């Protein structure tokens, strides 16, 4: 899995690891991410890092919805220096979303992942990741989730 340097086009390998409440509080204090991530401490929170760097360029909070046979992306964010047209790395959100899809398959949910998008990002997730709208949530499952996994975890 990799991100792409927006200036040079160079690919950089990334890792996704789960973080604990201590690291979550440290990251929150850096102000590199929007949202109060300490509110997610009761859920699984993951960071995406480039290479051997320990500082995340992306964060993801996941909650299980067993009654709906789904994983919910509660919160997803790129670091502030990776947002917008002058972002440092491209593919951060796609890497994190495809990771959620993999976890949804492993949990027996058939790749079913949902999220409540901010209005400004709803169309972005539909056009770039193939999410479908239920008017309350955006969802991906089955074939589309497999496509995302192949696109982001496939051959480098």
pLDDT digits (tens, 9 = 90+) for 134-155: 988 999 999 999 999 999 987 5
Domains of the chain are 2-153 (3.40.630.30)
Q: How large a percentage of the chain has pLDDT more than 70?
A: 97
Residue 73: closest CA among 92, 54, 60: 60
Per-residue pLDDT at 63: 97
Q: What is the mean pLDDT of residues 68-81?
A: 94
List, for residues 85-117, the tens digit of each pLDDT value.
667 899 999 999 999 999 999 999 999 999 998
Give the pLDDT band (50/70/90) at residue 156.
very low
Tokens of 106: 């492993």
Q: If you search the block for the tokens 């593919």, which residue do you land on?
A: 91
Using a pLDDT cut of 90, give the percent of the chain over it: 79
With a threshold of 0.75, does the pTM exceed it? Answer: yes
Residue 15 confidence (pLDDT): 96
Residue 155 is predicted with a pLDDT of: 54
DSSP E strand stretches across the chain: 2-5, 11-19, 44-50, 58-65, 70-78, 89-90, 113-115, 132-133, 138-140
The answer to whether residues 131 and 139 touch, using CB atoms and an 8 Å cutoff, is yes
């Amino acid at each position: 899995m990799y991100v792409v340097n927006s200036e040079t086009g160079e690919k950089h390998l990334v890792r996704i690891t789960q973080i604990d409440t201590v690291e979550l509080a440290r990251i929150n204090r850096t102000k590199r991410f929007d949202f109060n991530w300490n509110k997610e401490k009761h859920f699984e929170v993951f960071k995406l890092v480039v290479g051997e760097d320990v500082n995340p360029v992306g964060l993801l909070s996941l909650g299980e919805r067993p009654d709906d046979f789904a994983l919910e992306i509660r919160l997803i964010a790129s670091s502030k220096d990776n947002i917008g047209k002058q972002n440092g790395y491209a593919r951060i959100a796609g890497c994190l979303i495809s990771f959620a899809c993999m976890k949804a398959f492993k949990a027996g949910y058939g790749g079913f992942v949902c999220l409540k998008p901010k209005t400004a990002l709803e169309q972005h997730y539909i056009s770039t990741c193939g999410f479908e709208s239920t008017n309350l949530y955006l969802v991906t499952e089955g074939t589309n989730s497999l496509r995302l996994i192949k696109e982001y975890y496939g051959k480098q």
